[in-house]
Amino acid sequence: MNKDITGIVDIPLRSFEEDKLQMKSFEMALCNFINSSEMPITVALQGEWGSGKTSLMNRLDAKLCKNKTGEFYGIWLNTWHFALLKNDESIFIEIISSLIEQVIDISRKEHPEKFKRLISEVYSVGKNIFKGLTKIAMKTAVSQLSEQAAGDIDSTFFSENNTGKFNISDLRDKLNELVSQVIEKNIEKGITKKAFVFFIDDLDRIEPTVAVTILELLKNIFDIDNCVFVLAIDYEVVVKGLKHKFGEMNDNNEREFRSFFDKIIQLPFQMPVQSYIIDDFLKESLLAVGVINSEEANNEYFVKTIASFAGMSVGANPRSIKRLVNILSFVNLLHHSKNKVAEKESSLTSPKKLILFSLASLQVAFPSVLNLLSDNPDFESWNKEFAQRYSLKLISDEISNDSENFGLTEDWQKILHQFCLKSNYLKRHFFNIVSVFKLMQQVCAEANQPLNEIISEVIDYISVTSVKIDLRPKIEINNVRVLYALNEQLLPVLESKIISPLKFVKRKGRMIAKLSYVFDESKKNNSVSIYVFVKQNNIFVKIGGIIELFKYPDNGEDSIKNIERIGKIENFNQIIADFDDLVNKHKLFKYSSIPKNSLICEEHVQTLEQYFQFSTQFIESLYSKKFIEQLSSFIIDLMLEINKINNIIWLKQSI
């Protein structure tokens, strides 16, 4: 485990950092466009939060401005910082004042003593622009500037003798004159800087009407020669900010919204998140925090699978991916801590890591779906009872038609569909959500491990990083009382179903941790046990036991090799096939452990620790006649299968 890094900081990519999402072609195209465009011009970087707008701005700044051959001055403004704990008046004044001050600072730095008069005139003209605002608001803005600028503004804006009348056009003209003279002086001195680039960040994080007003101010004041504006804003923000002017957008007024946007923005650029290459980014991030090892990082199937899980949930949003990696990093550390406290060594297998990754992806992208899965991790057993718990209808004409149209054949798919219909967001992503569940099934099938067992094991880890309000009462049971009540109804039914070669059935031992029945005291492997417990706020019934296969001095830890050594692999494959037939016949009961993974060898004795399970949310279900009938039939059929195993001659006398 990597001890140097345990989490990834969610900050924009800096100019010198490697671009792991392969944005270089888009970055180069934008640089070339800005370099060769006539000015003034405005570029809008559009995309959801965390899509990489600030990172792209940083890299544009590095190439256009900070590079030795860069031909632009870079001016930065984070509107969100100004919006914190400020009223609207202060926001507008501080933003305009900050931009003006940065232009003036560059002018003074490049050409000291050349623009004193012009700078003073810029400050003076600004008085009329802000005269309708309070002096307190202006004082707040002035306090954020340099000492020299604050003095200039204070003497200009608050001087009782200054009574000149100006408008926005005058301010724009003065700024235009200042910027033009700076560029002219650059040409005279052989300085390569030819224009200013204004990077206006986080417009999409502030109140939309304020963002729209800022856009209008920028357009009216800074729409001047030798200036380029790069804005981080989404068209949807503009739409929200214009509702007070045009109302809710519809087919009739959409043109007004678009015209406003087009008037200010000459190049809309949508962040190409679907083009991001996230495989390497994910792999390197997970490897850096110690969640995966180098073997898994070099495993094409493993990397492709985590990329698929991410693509169907969090997508390629860098911020969401970083949050996903941090969750997995914490879970990995928690796993190691639990091992340390318990003084044991156990590692998460690759299939478990893949399922853990899928659950973390659901938590980041669709937390309510993860909460649903947490209520019953064995989603393959979701039924009408589970649907009713969430006021979902599993069967109706409407749902049946939808299910048929959408190709939904399993109950869990239909329940998930009904659950997602309650939210427009989940409804839009329904097929991706179903695909995540199907891929989980595929991962476990290929690993030959029971899905419900793996999910139940790893979901406990992921639950500690969830944001969830659970108003349901916690399920608590008295195991002994449940077992006594179960036995009272189950034993008579079992007795009525005894068939040859089973001889009888009677309860065995004390009912403290389990309920056991013996069927033939003259043979080994003659009993079955029932356990009842609560997990993830569900009641589980586990049925099965330890089946002794054979004892052989050469038996080692590799159980499959032990069986191959005595030439009985075909017999074991038949056992697996028979158990598969058993769960197909009794669909209520699922594998708690896959037979191939349930082989255990201790002290040269080869055994098969085989269990099946059923889950419910209601304790009353365990006492229903229907369940008792199903459980009793399953136990009888299970004992018949175990009897077949007893009849196998595992070892020849000569061995």
pLDDT per residue as tens digits for the range 234-259:
778 778 888 888 888 888 888 888 88
- Could you give the CA distance from residue 183 to residue 187 in angstroms, rounded to a whole number? 6
Domain endpoint, select from 465, 494, 516: 465
- Are 447 and 496 in a shared domain? no
Number of domains making up the chain: 3
Mean pLDDT of 395-422: 71
Mean pLDDT of 60-75: 90
pLDDT over threshold 60, residue 416 = yes
Can you give the pLDDT at residue 148? 47
Q: Which residues pair with 547 in a beta bridge?
A: 608
pLDDT over threshold 50, residue 492 = yes
- What is the band of 16 on the pLDDT scale with cuts at 50, 70, 90? very low
- What is the band of 652 on the pLDDT scale with cuts at 50, 70, 90? confident
Give the range among 178-192, 226-240, 508-522, 572-586 with minimum mean pLDDT: 226-240
- Are 105 and 221 in a shared domain? yes
Asked whether residue 350 is domain-assigned, the answer is: yes
CA dihedral of residues 283, 57, 95, 233 (deg, nearest 10): -70
- Are 407 and 442 in a shared domain? yes
The helix or strand, by DSSP H or E, that contains position 408, with its residue range, turns out to be none
- Are 431 and 531 in a shared domain? no
Higher pLDDT, 332 or 122: 332
Asked whether residue 49 is domain-assigned, the answer is: no
- What is the band of 468 on the pLDDT scale with cuts at 50, 70, 90? low
Closest CA to 425 of 158, 48, 14: 48
- Could you give the CA distance from residue 559 to residue 606 in angstroms, rounded to a whole number? 7
Can you give the pLDDT at residue 217? 80
pLDDT over threshold 50, residue 106 = yes
pLDDT over threshold 80, residue 654 = no
- Are 528 and 409 in a shared domain? no
Which residues 6+ apart lie within 8 Å of 444 measured at CB? 351, 355, 450, 451, 454
- What is the band of 105 on the pLDDT scale with cuts at 50, 70, 90? confident
- Are 221 and 320 in a shared domain? no
Asked whether residue 117 is domain-assigned, the answer is: yes
pLDDT over threshold 50, residue 96 = yes
- What is the band of 141 on the pLDDT scale with cuts at 50, 70, 90? very low
pLDDT over threshold 50, residue 216 = yes
- Are 184 and 121 in a shared domain? yes
Q: Which two tokens stand for residue 141?
A: 């803005």
Which residues 6+ apart lie within 8 Å of 432 measured at CB? 312, 313
Asked if 101 and 145 touch (Cβ cutoff 8 Å), the reply is yes
Mean pLDDT of 612-640: 92
Can you give the pLDDT at residue 636? 96
- How many of the other CB atoms lie within 10 Å of CB of 173? 16
Q: Which two tokens stand for residue 637?
A: 């059929």
Which residues 6+ apart lie within 8 Å of 95 measured at CB? 77, 79, 82, 214, 217
Gyration radius (Cα) of the chain, Å: 35
For residue range 144-159, what is the model confidence (pLDDT) as tens digits? 444 444 444 444 443 4
Asked whether residue 233 is domain-assigned, the answer is: no
The mean of the pLDDT values for the chain is 81
| Model confidence, pTM | 0.59
For residue range 81-95, what is the model confidence (pLDDT) as tens digits? 776 655 566 677 777
- Are 456 and 483 in a shared domain? no
Higher pLDDT, 341 or 548: 548
Domain endpoint, select from 416, 438, 465: 465
Asked whether residue 69 is domain-assigned, the answer is: yes
Q: Kindly state the DSSP code that residue 227 receives in the 8-state scheme.
A: E
Could you tell me the residue range of the domain that residue 420 belongs to?
A: 275-465
For residue range 368-404, what is the model confidence (pLDDT) as tens digits? 999 888 888 889 888 888 888 788 876 543 444 444 4
Higher pLDDT, 436 or 340: 436
SS (H, E, C) 509-565: CCCCCCEEEECCCCCCCCEEEEEEEEECCEEEEEEEEEEEEEECCCCCCCHHHHHHH
CA dihedral of residues 174, 178, 183, 185 (deg, nearest 10): 130
Can you give the pLDDT at residue 534? 87
Q: Is 325 exposed, middle or buried (0-12, 13-18, 19+ CB in 10 A)?
A: buried
- Are 581 and 505 in a shared domain? yes
Can you give the pLDDT at residue 5? 55
- Could you give the CA distance from residue 584 to residue 570 in angstroms, rounded to a whole number? 21
- Could you give the CA distance from residue 317 to residue 47 in angstroms, rounded to a whole number? 9
Can you give the pLDDT at residue 653? 58
pLDDT over threshold 90, residue 506 = yes
Domain endpoint, select from 404, 431, 465: 465
Which residues 6+ apart lie within 8 Å of 297 measured at CB? 283, 284, 286, 287, 303
Mean pLDDT of 324-331: 87
SS3 state at 228? strand
Q: E strands of 34-93, at which residues?
A: 41-46, 72-78
Higher pLDDT, 393 or 653: 393
- Could you give the CA distance from residue 197 to residue 40 in angstroms, rounded to a whole number? 10
